[in-house]
Amino acid sequence: METSRRPDHQPAAAASGGPAQAPAEPVLAGRTALVTGAASGIGRACAQALAAAGAHVHVVDRAGEAAERLAKEIGGTPWVVDLSEPAVVDTLPADVDVVVNNAGLQHVAPVHEFPPDRFALIQRVMVETPFRVLRRTLPGMYERGWGRVVNISSVHGLRASPYKSAYVTAKHALEGLSKVVALEAAEHGVTSNCVCPGYVRTPLVENQIADQARTHGISEEEVVGRVMLERSAVKRLIEPADVAEAVLWLCGPRTGHITGSSLSMDGGWTAN
């Protein structure tokens, strides 16, 4: 008697001596993805991972040359826009299956000295833009009955650190937006989750290392171990490719019940 199988069932390996199995189709074959802040760091690694899994990736970044190089490398489409201008979201493609909200920036200062315009800029790029992107792309996902939203949050979406009021505020807001989308989108086959890394080896973090080394009069190695990773049990920076693997997993066929979650990749920071 034949048994039924779900569409996303992966056949077991052939018995020894049997015919060779054809390679499994890439998990995102035929899908489209949009990644913001995709020209470097975590965004670049996510775009590469999603493309390798079969997706056509829209590479969104204000760094034009880098975005165009990456799009050419992975067979994607570059979109050179400045996401600090909210209206530009309406020029981006709406018909996508996967959204990775990654674009962000940092500014470090105590609250009483924090420039209000810088605070507002960080909220526009890291909260309003993800909202606008999802407002534009969710209807198509709903219509097709499938979609994946992955928001690149941070350990600072779960915990606070001094001198980062705008960044911590934005990441906490992104966590809330992600959960609301998870509740609204569940009936349409769309999931929404956050990935919350600690310090990742990106240009943004490497610049902070150099700045803090000068400020504290210590070596860059000491900045990583004594300042950045003080609360982390794992005393090394996270690689962008590791974050991208987590993003890709959340976009795969076995994660339909994972939604409204925040996946910590913080080396034990939040366990401390």
Tell me the pLDDT tens digit for each residue of 106-150: 998 999 999 999 999 999 999 999 999 999 999 999 999 999 999
Task: Say whether both 154 and 193 belong to one domain.
Answer: yes
Q: What does the angle CA 252 – CA 102 – CA 145 come to, to the nearest 5 degrees?
A: 40
For residue 18, pLDDT over 80 is answered with no
Paired tokens of 132: 């606008």
Q: How far apart are CA 124 and CA 116, in angstroms?
A: 12
pLDDT confidence of residue 133:
98
Q: For the purposes of burial, counting CB atoms within 10 Å of the CB of 17, is it exposed (0-12), middle (13-18) or buried (19 or more)?
A: exposed
pLDDT confidence of residue 231:
86
For residue 16, pLDDT over 50 is answered with no
Q: Enumerate the active-site residues.
A: 167
Residues of the chain above pLDDT 90, percent? 75
Q: Mean pLDDT of all residues in the chain?
A: 90
Q: What is the mean pLDDT of residues 86-96?
A: 97
**From 64-68, 87-91, 159-163, 189-193, the region with the lowest mean pLDDT:** 159-163
Q: How far apart are CA 239 and CA 163, in angstroms?
A: 24
User: What three-state secondary structure class fits 4?
Assistant: coil
For residue 15, pLDDT over 60 is answered with no
pLDDT confidence of residue 213:
78
pLDDT confidence of residue 214:
77
* Separation in Å, CA 156 to CA 103, 262, 270: 15, 12, 10
DSSP 128: I
Q: How far apart are CA 160 and CA 96, in angstroms?
A: 33
Task: Say whether both 96 and 217 belong to one domain.
Answer: no
Q: What is the DSSP string of 236-270?
A: SPBPHHHHHHHHHHHTSTT-TT--S-EEEESTTGG
Residue linked to tokens 């490497």: 206
Task: Say whether both 227 and 143 belong to one domain.
Answer: no
The length of the chain is 272
pLDDT confidence of residue 11:
40
Domain boundaries, position 91: 32-198+239-262
CA 258 to chain CA centroid, Å, is 16
Flag whether 18 is in a domain: no
Task: Say whether both 128 and 163 belong to one domain.
Answer: yes
Q: How far apart are CA 57 and CA 262, in angstroms?
A: 24
Task: Say whether both 41 and 53 belong to one domain.
Answer: yes
pLDDT band at 56 (very low <50, low <70, confident <90, very high): very high
Task: Say whether both 167 and 233 belong to one domain.
Answer: no
Q: What is the tens place of the pLDDT at every residue in 200-251? A: 988 778 777 877 777 778 888 888 877 788 889 998 899 999 999 999 999 9
pLDDT confidence of residue 24:
67
Task: Say whether both 68 and 89 belong to one domain.
Answer: yes
